[in-house]
Amino acid sequence: DAKTTQPPSMDCAEGRAANLPCNHSTISGNEYVYWYRQIHSQGPQYIIHGLKNNETNEMASLIITEDRKSSTLILPHATLRDTAVYYCIVSPSGTYKYIFGTGTRLKVLA
Amino acid sequence: ETGVTQSPTHLIKTRGQQVTLRCSSQSGHNTVSWYQQALGQGPQFIFQYYREEENGRGNFPPRFSGLQFPNYSSELNVNALELDDSALYLCASRLQGDTEAFFGQGTRLTVV
């Protein structure tokens, strides 16, 4: 079973920040938080990952709470092309498998 | 573009037949994983190969098998196809020791 809980769906207005929450209350000390997204039947696209510090790259920011039991993926200026299913995964570094849940279906509205 | 390519993109097979799906990993990536994604579900881990050896397997029967070649390309073979094997099959490659994996675009298999 997936170790993460995400809302099944969210809407966001184009140009606004999209904040996608993820609960991972049973996360272990050596487990990273990964975010991927999947745009309609394409392969999942890597977005960002982190261990305990907040992370930012050209696509998004990842905010991890101090107790590491939850995190938020932030897309700072959502566009229509960000409409996708977003998956939050926790997994040890270098592990051989990801356990996907059902993700959050984000719809960006014009 | 992730540099991970899969072929074919679409495939239709008859129940009971055998199928081989192919994956070319991103340059330098020595680890490949395969996933099955049924419609409306998240991907499910099938198995992983590292340096031509299987080093992890999910809850899939033995009729799902694989190979990894010296150039790190790989195959997924499924024997005795069942209707429930209809799915998007994804491969993902990484460099052993790195954290993130990169996925190909998948092969859509339909079993009729």
Given a cut of 80, is residue A38 above it in pLDDT?
yes
Q: Give the Å distances, CA to CA, from A38 to A68, A105, B41, B83.
A: 24, 9, 11, 24
Of B102, B91, B112, the closest CA to residue B20 belongs to B91
CB-nearest to B33 from A87, A94, A97 is A97
User: For A98, which residue in chain B has the nearest alpha carbon?
Assistant: B45
One-letter amino acid of A33: V
Given a cut of 90, is residue A29 above it in pLDDT?
no
pLDDT score of B6: 96
Residue B64's pLDDT band (cuts 50, 70, 90): very high
User: SS in 3 state form for A48-90?
Assistant: EEECCCCEECCCCEEEECCCCCEEEEEECCCCHHHCEEEEEEE
CA distance A47 to A54: 14
Place of tokens 């990993």: B25
Of B83, B91, B85, the closest CA to residue B66 belongs to B91
Of A70, A60, A65, the closest CA to residue A17 belongs to A60
CB-neighbour burial class of residue B99 (10 A; exposed 0-12, middle 13-18, buried 19+): middle
CA distance B25 to B91: 8
pLDDT score of B37: 95
CA distance B45 to A75: 27
pLDDT score of B97: 67
pLDDT score of B2: 66
What's the angle, vertex CA A43, arms to CA A59 and CA B74, rounded to 5? 125
CB-neighbour burial class of residue A73 (10 A; exposed 0-12, middle 13-18, buried 19+): buried
CA distance B74 to B54: 11
Interface probe with B: pick from A55, A97, A105, most Cβ of B within 10 Å: A97
Mean local confidence (pLDDT), A16-40:
93
pLDDT score of B29: 83
Distance from CA of B55 to the nearest CA of A (A): 8
Q: Does A93 touch chain B (CB under 8 A)?
A: yes
Please state, rounded to an integer, the average pLDDT across all residues of chain A.
Answer: 92
Query: What SS3 state is found at A80?
Result: helix
Given a cut of 90, is residue B34 above it in pLDDT?
yes
- Using a pLDDT cut of 90, give the percent of chain B over it: 72
CA distance A44 to A25: 24
Place of tokens 């799902």: B64
pLDDT score of A92: 75
State whether B99 and A41 contact (CB < 8 Å): no
Residue B11's pLDDT band (cuts 50, 70, 90): very high
Mean local confidence (pLDDT), B59-73:
93
B27 vs A5: which has the higher pLDDT: A5
- pLDDT digits over A85-110, tens only? 999 998 876 666 888 888 999 999 99
Residue B20's pLDDT band (cuts 50, 70, 90): very high
pLDDT score of A3: 84
Q: Does A97 touch chain B (CB under 8 A)?
A: yes
Q: Does A34 touch chain B (CB under 8 A)?
A: yes
Return the half-sphere exposure (C-beta side, CA atoms, 13 A cut-off) of residue A78.
Answer: 22
Q: What does the block give as tokens for A10? A: 């969210």
Distance from CA of B62 to the nearest CA of A (A): 18
